[in-house]
Amino acid sequence: MEPTFFKFIFRYSKRQQIYLLVLTCLSFPFLYYSLELPKLIVNDAIGSESFPKTLWGWEFEQINYLMILCFGFLILVGIRFGLRYYVNVYKGQLGERMLRRLRYILFARILRFPVPHFRKTSQGELISMVTAEVEPLGGFIGDAVAVPAFEGGTLLTILIFMFAQDWMLGLAAVALYPVQMYLIPKLQRQLNLLAKERVRAVRKLSERISESVSGVEEMHAHDTSERERSEFAQQVGVIQGIRFQIYRKKFFIKFLNNVIGQLTPFFFYSIGGYLVIKGDLTFGALVAILAAYKDLSSPWKELLRWYQVKEDTRIKYDQLLEQFQPAGMLDEDLQRVPDGHVPRLSGQVVATNLTLQDESGVRAVDGANFQFDMGENVAVVGGSGSGSDSLAQMLARIIVPTSGSIFIGDANLAALPESVTGRRISYVSQNVALFRGSVGDNLFYPLMRQPLRSGAYEGEAAKRHEKYIMEALETGNTASDMEADWIDYEAAGVADLDALTERAVEILKAVGLDEDIYVFGLQGTVDPDRDPGIAEQFLKARDMLRRRLEDSEFTGLVESFDRDAYNRNMSVAENVLFGTPIGPVLDLEHIGENPYMLSVLDQVGLTEKFLSTGLQVAKVMVELFQDLPAGHEFFERFSFISAEALPAYQALVRKVEPGDLEDLDPEDRTLLMSLPFKLIPERHRLGLLDGSIEQPLLRARRAFADGLPESLRSSVAFFESDSYNPAATVQDNILFGKLIYGRQQSQREVGGLIAEVVDTLQLRRKIVEIGLNSQVGIGGGRLSAAQRQRLGMARALLKRPDLLILDEATANLDRLSQSEIMRRLLEESGEMGLVWVLTHGEDASRFDRLIEMDGGRVVANHSIAKVAQIDNAADAAAGE
């Protein structure tokens, strides 16, 4: 990065700044004449008596002459302000571009920070620097040259004009400038120091906030909220103090400028008045000077303000510089997108005198020497503090050693670009970071390194895309297109997306994640329009499952959907709607408040029955739940009535008798109508809905579908036995019914049946594919720690590395899975090098080589086969 802000500005916007300067200079003649004309108007047109006057060879009478001059004035003003508008727009564009460039540079630098640096840099600081702190810098860039040039030039023009009228008055106008030029930089220096302090204090505050947020559980667990609050209060207190001092200093400068600005007219009136009376100055000239003086104060003020902002941004830039130039940053060239083929790694891995030292002098790895063959399976064994984890990270070139070297074949690892290390080496630690997106996005993440096949753009979109590319290049950003296809199929050894999915399924199986993704798939939805043929296959599965359920051993497990039969294992709401709600309009929780639903009930004559049933349900609920404390979880889990609504129902139950149902308040009516919708006869067994209501409810179901207004069409997907329901999950589509209450193992048995049907129809892969589309949530939060870890391993394998480094990568899994995954990887590693960091040595005998570490040093490095041979030989010797 450039050492000063102005160097930065000139490096990236020299051409534009010069253009702005030229435009600015162009405007000065217009300015001068717009000052000159008023004098002519007053003296020549209004005050003179010698008419007609000659102008460009034409003769004019007084009125015409006046009008010509006035219109001339108008045109000059128009040109001046038109030019000014254009300059401002241009400055804005320049500022925004430079801001984008600066942000991009900062982010790109973060990606090159040495990894250990992040341990002492808080996220909050980095975020506030890239987002908030650079913003004023961008705003200033457009003004950097143009403002002093424009305002300085304006000032100079006006002064020249004044001196041209009368040098004494000119002198009077600038008499106090030296005072200001002496005082203000002095005050400004004090301000600068405060501004620096403020930036530092605000950064500390953002660090504090992000720490409080990430440690919020500790705070709850130890009742330390008061301490957190106090620490925060202390810091905002400091900021408040600094800010107020800044405010006072700024205000004082402003005050000073204003006072001085108001003193100057004193000289004008006294000296100017004297000169006019004496006849040394025309009255017109005095008016013009006074008008000019009014124009003078604004550029002067602007100049002073510019100076203050300049100082402000200079400090901000210096502080950015401090933060974004950590020692040991990765060379920019190492992260360049490669042009051609990326070489493979092979041969011997040789580490010589490998040392990793932090700035306090502690050596995590201390002069380690070892070597192994790339084809070997190597166990690195060492407890915490042994340096084995740092060793693994150095092997993966995630961190660069302080001294010493690692060679793979002829290649020095430290000098290899990331396009080689990141593609040929896979590294998985215990903490797998997932990004927002689908399981598939995360699985294919290592294959997405550069855009390979550009996206298709047409018409309007193509124009927009072209503009995007143009702006990106203009601002020094990368022009790589996010919409392009980034997946490198070749790296995974496949030809297309279909084959890649096939490969992904195999790898998921190898790391034991296939069953979980299958379950995600069953819970996922699929749009049959985008995947033709899929609906038909799932409908086939539905059919087959239904036939299986007819077997005597499975009867009584599922009550299938049937448009002409009431389903006693689902709620009244679901029975009437008979479909899956899409969006909030027909949400089952609140369907009792939907006006269309209520009109349907009226139509089939069920309103009265609903009201009386509602009253009975309300009575039961009030009795059951009134003694529970308000926030009790049972409300959420069992009650039809929320804790907040309970008092309203209590009051209602007390005052309403079954006879009063005809003339209820509208609110009470709504309260009661909503309750029966939640009843599931087989589950709640309140004995409130007998068989006699089923026929009317079926009529309601039909009426609801038949009369559905256009506006509600997109809010529900009906259950149709011969079509796929895109709003429902895959599982619900196959099941097409409800599990029957009162059967203990129904879930397990039905799950087994669905799996059987899915396997018979060979749909498992399709469902896993749907599972790959399910979202992982922010930071992978919707996946368990074990699932995240398995996913991390799957993606490390998918890119077919030459060297796979697992840094306790199975630590979150249970013992059995750990052992199983280790077995598979050891068996299937083939030519791929495998380095596995383990805390304990018990599994080491399964590897080809064992490297033991202790206190940052390699204490043993031997081939396991040899160890076994030596042991055998020893045994044999002992036997003789």
Partner 1 sequence: MQLPEIVAVLRGIPLFAKLDSSKLKLLAFSSTYLTMDAGEVLFFEGDPADSVYLIDEGEANIFTGRGAKEVKVAQIGRHGLVGEMAIFRDSPRSATIRAAGRLKVLKIDGDVFRAVVSENPEAALTVMGILSDKLAATTDEYERLKASAAAAKDRSVTSQA
Residues lying near partner 1 in the complex (CB under 8 A): 620, 623-627, 633-634, 637-638, 683-687, 741-745
Residue 508: CB minimum distance to partner 1, A: 24
Residue 480: CB minimum distance to partner 1, A: 47
Q: Which of 230, 231, 242 is nearest to 202 (CA)?
A: 242
Task: List Cβ neighbours of 365 (8 Å cut-off, separation of 6 or more).
Answer: 354, 355, 356, 387, 390, 391, 394, 401, 856
Residue 744: CB minimum distance to partner 1, A: 5
Alpha helices (H) along 416-555: 418-424, 439-443, 459-474, 497-510, 514-523, 534-549
Residue 687: CB minimum distance to partner 1, A: 4
Question: Which residue, 430 or 746, has its beta carbon nearer to partner 1?
Answer: 746
Residue 331: CB minimum distance to partner 1, A: 52
Residue 678: CB minimum distance to partner 1, A: 13
Beta pairing partners, 412: 407
Residue 518: CB minimum distance to partner 1, A: 20
Check: CB of residue 488 under 8 Å from CB of residue 447: yes
Check: CB of residue 73 under 8 Å from CB of residue 45: no
Residue 403: CB minimum distance to partner 1, A: 52
Residue 822: CB minimum distance to partner 1, A: 23
Question: Which residue, 502 or 623, has its beta carbon nearer to partner 1?
Answer: 623
Name the residue with tokens 């919708």: 677
Q: Which of 807, 780, 790 is nearest to 441 (CA)?
A: 780
Question: Which residue, 463 or 743, has its beta carbon nearer to partner 1?
Answer: 743
Task: List Cβ neighbours of 256 (8 Å cut-off, separation of 6 or more).
Answer: 180, 183, 184, 187
Question: Which residue, 583 or 742, has its beta carbon nearer to partner 1?
Answer: 742
Question: Which residue, 220 or 685, has its beta carbon nearer to partner 1?
Answer: 685
Question: Which residue, 711 or 744, has its beta carbon nearer to partner 1?
Answer: 744
Question: Which residue, 244 or 634, has its beta carbon nearer to partner 1?
Answer: 634
Residue 690: CB minimum distance to partner 1, A: 11
Residue 810: CB minimum distance to partner 1, A: 21
Q: Which of 388, 682, 721, 726 is nearest to 582 (CA)?
A: 726
Question: Which residue, 505 or 753, has its beta carbon nearer to partner 1?
Answer: 753
Q: Which of 737, 730, 732 is nearest to 774 (CA)?
A: 730
Residue 684: CB minimum distance to partner 1, A: 7
Question: Which residue, 382 or 614, has its beta carbon nearer to partner 1?
Answer: 614
Residue 637: CB minimum distance to partner 1, A: 8
Question: Which residue, 494 or 646, has its beta carbon nearer to partner 1?
Answer: 646
Question: Which residue, 90 or 741, has its beta carbon nearer to partner 1?
Answer: 741
Question: Which residue, 234 or 626, has its beta carbon nearer to partner 1?
Answer: 626
Task: List Cβ neighbours of 605 (8 Å cut-off, separation of 6 or more).
Answer: 696
The Cβ of residue 367 has, within 10 Å, a number of other Cβ atoms equal to 14
How far are the Cα atoms of 112, 440, 575, 736 from residue 535, in angstroms, in the given order? 48, 22, 24, 13
Name the residue with tokens 């753009």: 457
> CA 832 to CA 375: how far, in whole Å?
6
CA angle at 440 for the pair 537 and 798, rounded to the nearest 5°: 110
How far are the Cα atoms of 506, 615, 668, 798 from residue 392, in angstroms, in the given order? 27, 68, 68, 20
> CA 204 to CA 267: how far, in whole Å?
51
Residue 615: CB minimum distance to partner 1, A: 17
Q: Which residues of 323-352 are buried (b: 16+ CB within 10 A; e: fewer)?
A: bbebeebbeeebeeeeeeebeebbeebebe
Residue 815: CB minimum distance to partner 1, A: 15
**Number of residues that this document lists for the chain:** 880
Question: Which residue, 450 or 626, has its beta carbon nearer to partner 1?
Answer: 626
| Phi and psi angles of residue 190, each rounded to the nearest 5 degrees, phi first | -60, -40
Check: CB of residue 319 under 8 Å from CB of residue 4: no
Residue 741: CB minimum distance to partner 1, A: 6
Q: Which two tokens stand for residue 233?
A: 């209060």
> CA 838 to CA 388: how far, in whole Å?
8
Question: Which residue, 436 or 743, has its beta carbon nearer to partner 1?
Answer: 743
Q: Which of 246, 119, 146 is nearest to 195 (CA)?
A: 246
Check: CB of residue 717 under 8 Å from CB of residue 733: no
| Phi and psi angles of residue 412, each rounded to the nearest 5 degrees, phi first | -80, 120
Q: Which two tokens stand for residue 865?
A: 């086969």
Check: CB of residue 264 under 8 Å from CB of residue 293: yes
Question: Which residue, 302 or 516, has its beta carbon nearer to partner 1?
Answer: 516
Question: Which residue, 685 or 866, has its beta carbon nearer to partner 1?
Answer: 685
Check: CB of residue 632 under 8 Å from CB of residue 673: no
